[in-house]
Amino acid sequence: MNGQPSLARHLESFFHHRLTQQRNATRATVAAYRDALRLLVLFASERTGKKPCALAVEDLDRDMILAYLDHLEHSRGNCVHTRNARLTAIRSFFHHVAASDPGSIGVAQRVLSIPSKKSDVPMPHYLSRAELDALLDAPSKSSPCGRRDRVLLLFLARTGARVSEALGVEAADLSLDGARSHVMLRGKGRKQRVVPLARDLVAAIESLLRESGIARHDPVPVFVGARGERLTRFGAIHIVRRAVATASKHMPELARKEISPHVFRHSLAMMLLQSGVDLLTIQAWLGHAQVATTHRYAAADIEMMRRGLDKAAIRGSAAHRFQPKDAVLSLLERL
């Protein structure tokens, strides 16, 4: 490899030193970067005919990265957001390569110059109160699995937590003290925030803890799978899909909507906004880094805009059409 350190060596130092020791990255970040770089290594191995362990840094040049990004979109069906997330992982890796291997700075700089791809920012989808209630009533109350499912859905709906935040909650993070009840959530970038708990959610959590034999201050996960392990993201997605399938039997319009765990977060934000809660409070509640992210919900609420028209007394009556006096302009207007 012409004296160049192997790609495997760079990958090992990137994950064990840069991400884990220097940046103290979360497990979710490490997993996301691992998946992005694993797919890249497999793609480069197939394109070059080399085994993954034989790849060098120069094999992952700008052209290879661009081809990989196109492969993600066109062959794997990834959206632009996922494509950009993979590119972020690659950039982080090549920042590490440039810092630790001066001979590879040229390759790294060309890769780092690849821009993110712009995409449309979709309007947030949200559920009406009737649709939300139908989903919360869908899980069976006669089985432990169904009761756990309902508590998880209720937690997502009442706290607005991201699915990773909800699944990361442990009994020690809960403070179940009547009207002052709250939960500590660990968000992106290890940021922590405290969110109040509604009364129906407090009762549901207390019942779940008793059934699971979990003490209130135990450092163990609240939402677990069949074998007692922490529930996974895929498990949560399956729970939501199962609830949608059940609820859509009585409310068919639910089957036509794209409903994921994140939709519960959007739905709470819209309910808070429509109830008159200000954007800064909603921003703190949801853990948004910028209020501009929270402002998307105001832009998505057409009913609030209609009420704004009424408050402004805008009648919408047609204005008088301008009639030009000049003969030439009059002629052109008649064409």
Give me the pLDDT at residue 322, please. 59
Burial of residue 74, with CB atoms counted within 10 A of its CB: 0-12 exposed, 13-18 middle, 19 or more buried: exposed
What strand order describes the sheet that includes 192-196? 174-175, 182-186, 192-196
Indicate if 273 and 168 belong to the same structural domain.
Answer: yes
Residue 292 vs residue 20, higher pLDDT: 20
Q: What is the number of other CB atoms lying within 10 angstroms of the CB of residue 169?
A: 21
Indicate if 133 and 84 belong to the same structural domain.
Answer: no
Question: 183: part of which helix (H) or strand (E)?
Answer: strand 182-186
Q: What are phi and psi of 26, to 5 degrees?
A: -70, 165
- Average pLDDT value for residue range 19-35: 87
121 within domain boundaries:
no
Indicate if 252 and 224 belong to the same structural domain.
Answer: yes
CATH code assigned at 230: 1.10.443.10
Tokens representing residue 123 in the block: 């309007």
Q: Which of 248, 269, 234 is nearest to 126 (CA)?
A: 269
Indicate if 18 and 163 belong to the same structural domain.
Answer: no
**How many Å apart are CA 93 and CA 197, to the nearest integer?**
40
Indicate if 268 and 226 belong to the same structural domain.
Answer: yes
Give me the pLDDT at residue 37, please. 96
**How many Å apart are CA 31 and CA 175, to the nearest integer?**
30
pLDDT digits (tens, 9 = 90+) for 154-169: 999 999 999 999 999 9
Q: How many CA atoms lie within 13 A of 58 on its CB side?
A: 9
Name the DSSP class of 228. Answer: S
299 within domain boundaries:
yes
Indicate if 295 and 260 belong to the same structural domain.
Answer: yes
Give me the pLDDT at residue 300, please. 64
pLDDT digits (tens, 9 = 90+) for 266-284: 999 999 988 888 889 999 9
Which residue's entry shows tokens 């009364």? 199
End-to-end CA distance of the chain: 75
Indicate if 195 and 293 belong to the same structural domain.
Answer: yes
88 within domain boundaries:
yes
Indicate if 144 and 281 belong to the same structural domain.
Answer: yes
From 50, 77, 112, the end of a domain falls on 112
Split into its structural domains, the chain has a count of 2
- Listed in sequence order, the residues at least 6 apart from 116 whose beta carbon sits closer than 8 Å to its beta carbon are 84, 87, 88
- Average pLDDT value for residue range 111-138: 89
334 within domain boundaries:
no
Residues serving a catalytic function are 162, 188, 262, 265
Q: Which of 262, 244, 225 is nearest to 138 (CA)?
A: 244
Give me the pLDDT at residue 70, please. 96
Burial of residue 21, with CB atoms counted within 10 A of its CB: 0-12 exposed, 13-18 middle, 19 or more buried: exposed
118 within domain boundaries:
no
156 within domain boundaries:
yes
Indicate if 184 and 258 belong to the same structural domain.
Answer: yes
Q: Identify the band that residue 38 occupies on the pLDDT scale cut at 50, 70 and 90.
A: very high
CA 153 to chain centre: 16
Which residue's entry shows tokens 């497990």? 27
pLDDT digits (tens, 9 = 90+) for 50-81: 999 999 999 999 999 999 999 999 999 998 98
pLDDT-wise least confident of 11-15, 27-31, 62-66, 80-84: 27-31
Give me the pLDDT at residue 218, please. 87
Contact 176, 200 (CB under 8 A): no
Q: How many CA atoms lie within 13 A of 224 on its CB side?
A: 16
Q: Does residue 120 register a pLDDT over 90?
A: no
133 within domain boundaries:
yes
Q: Does residue 335 register a pLDDT over 70?
A: no
Contact 204, 220 (CB under 8 A): no
Indicate if 56 and 174 belong to the same structural domain.
Answer: no
Q: Which of 180, 166, 257, 173 is nearest to 220 (CA)?
A: 173
Residue range(s) defining the domain that contains residue 26: 7-112
Q: Identify the band that residue 3 occupies on the pLDDT scale cut at 50, 70 and 90.
A: very low
pLDDT digits (tens, 9 = 90+) for 192-242: 999 999 999 999 999 999 999 988 888 999 999 888 899 998 999 999 999
CATH code assigned at 97: 1.10.150
Give me the pLDDT at residue 288, please. 87
Give me the pLDDT at residue 1, please. 41
Q: Does residue 114 register a pLDDT over 60?
A: yes
Indicate if 191 and 274 belong to the same structural domain.
Answer: yes
Tokens representing residue 333 in the block: 């207007």
Indicate if 108 and 142 belong to the same structural domain.
Answer: no
Contact 247, 138 (CB under 8 A): yes
Which whole-number Å values give the CA distances from 174 to 62, 126, 163, 181, 204, in the listed order?
A: 48, 27, 17, 8, 13
